[in-house]
């Protein structure tokens, strides 16, 4: 049986421990940089997966991030950011990690071989959901079993793995192959494989946000402003998109209870939060077309008054 790439010995690993630390450091950085390019070859399935995730959010389904070990940490890191960054409701995000999320520095390794818990863990999984399953090897029993359950229940499966032809990718609707080279420390997939996984996960969630209309001109227009830094950022976004001053932006955000998209429309001239929300409903939550409609309406009104 061929050794999976993620378990092979890196050509530069021989004698690694005898080299100066500066040489080892350079090799580590180079290997990470090379791994970081792997998602460029998976843009197609990443885009398709992002669309599936957006469809799940619109349908009030659940995004289920699932993995074991270091892949589980990569998946959890992305899932935990979705609320604050894009205001995805907490009840639409679920993290499934073999053995549960660690609460200490100890992370057991044997749990990735156990799949008997998944029947209970995924009992509420439905066809509206999307499973984002991550495994460097693509053969982790816990992750593969979850993909089978999701397929049986009609859910979309996004599989992220670093070995071509692996079982997880074969079970996936959207197979994201990240062909990273062998690790400089053989089998330590928290390194290159993990770097590529994190980038692919970042791409998936960010592209999903683009599909949902939560990003405009590179700004997070659906962020949850629950601290001073984010409240200042929200104020700045309103100013940037409408040209009002910070005091007017603060007033608009206050009127809308911090709803950033509605605040932009209020600052741009919509009379109330309710009217702003109605305009956004007409554009499926996308702010740019809502602003364009408001601009056309204002122009038509001005033209009518001029006549």
Instruction: List the catalytic residues.
Output: 81, 112
Rounded to whole angstroms, the Cα distance separating 272 from 255 reads: 8
Lookup result for tokens 């799940």: 56
Rounded to whole angstroms, the Cα distance separating 270 from 254 reads: 14
Phi, psi (5° rounding) for residue 98?
A: -55, 120
Task: For residue 227, give Cα distances in angstroms to 84, 163, 181, 231, 258.
Answer: 10, 41, 41, 6, 12
Helices (H) and strands (E) in the chain, counts: 12, 7
HSE (CB half, 13 Å, CA atoms) of 64?
27
Determine the 3-state secondary structure of 64 from DSSP: strand
Look up residue 25 and give its two tokens. Answer: 């450091």
Rounded to whole angstroms, the Cα distance separating 13 from 154 reads: 44
Rounded to whole angstroms, the Cα distance separating 226 from 228 reads: 7
175 contacts: CB under 8 Å, gap ≥ 6: 45, 159, 161, 169
Bridge-partner residues for 67, per DSSP?
97, 134
156 contacts: CB under 8 Å, gap ≥ 6: 49, 52, 55, 56, 129, 130, 131, 150, 173, 174
């Amino acid at each position: 049986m061929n050794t999976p790439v993620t378990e092979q010995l890196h050509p530069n690993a021989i004698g690694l421990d005898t080299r100066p630390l500066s040489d080892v450091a350079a090799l580590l950085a180079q290997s990470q940089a090379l791994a970081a390019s792997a998602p460029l070859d998976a843009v197609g399935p990443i885009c398709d997966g992002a669309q599936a995730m957006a469809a799940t959010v619109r349908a009030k389904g659940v995004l289920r991030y699932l993995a074991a070990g270091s892949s589980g940490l990569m998946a959890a890191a992305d899932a935990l950011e979705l609320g604050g960054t894009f205001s995805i409701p907490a009840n639409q995000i679920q993290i499934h990690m073999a053995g549960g999320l660690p609460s200490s520095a100890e992370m057991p390794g044997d749990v990735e071989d156990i799949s008997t818990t998944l029947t209970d863990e995924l009992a509420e999984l439905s066809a509206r959901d999307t499973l984002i399953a991550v495994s460097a090897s693509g053969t982790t029993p816990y992750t593969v079993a979850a993909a089978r359950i999701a397929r049986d229940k009609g859910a979309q499966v996004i599989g992220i793995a670093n070995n071509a032809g692996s079982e997880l990718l074969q079970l996936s609707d959207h197979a994201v192959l990240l062909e990273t080279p062998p690790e400089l420390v053989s089998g330590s997939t928290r390194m290159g494989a993990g770097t590529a996984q994190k980038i692919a996960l970042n791409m998936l969630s960010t592209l999903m946000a683009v599909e949902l209309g939560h990003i405009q001109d590179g700004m997070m227009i659906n962020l949850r402003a629950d601290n001073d830094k984010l409240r200042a950022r929200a104020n700045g976004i309103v100013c940037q998109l409408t040209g009002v001053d910070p005091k007017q932006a603060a007033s608009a955000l206050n009127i809308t209870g911090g709803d950033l998209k509605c605040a932009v429309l209020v600052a741009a001239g919509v009379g109330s939060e309710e009217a702003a929300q109605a305009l956004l409903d007409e554009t499926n939550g996308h702010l740019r077309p809502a602003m364009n409609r408001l601009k056309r309406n204002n122009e038509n009104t001005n033209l009518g008054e001029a006549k």
